[in-house]
Amino acid sequence: MLRWTIIFIIIAIIAGILGFGGIASGAESIARILFYIFLILFVLSLISRLFRR
């Protein structure tokens, strides 16, 4: 999932440089959502691993 976040960030940067504002903002919002989902899943896996021991 982190890989998809990086891909969408790169798409947003390239689209922003080329002047495609709508595409850049859409890719940026998708990247942000994927990053937060990845972050939440990472924290949950850390907490579950802590309780397994």
Share of the chain above pLDDT 70, in %: 94
Decide if pLDDT at 1 tops 70. Answer: no
Select the more confidently predicted residue: 38 or 4.
Answer: 38
- Mean pLDDT, residues 31-52: 88
Q: Output the pLDDT for position 4.
A: 77
Select the more confidently predicted residue: 47 or 13.
Answer: 47
Question: In the structure encoding, which two tokens stand for residue 11, read together?
Answer: 């798409």
Question: In the structure encoding, which two tokens stand for residue 7, read together?
Answer: 């891909």
> Are the C-beta atoms of residues 5 and 34 closer than 8 Å to each other?
yes
Cα separation, 34 vs 1, in Å, equals 7
Q: What are phi and psi of 20, to 5 degrees?
A: -90, 85
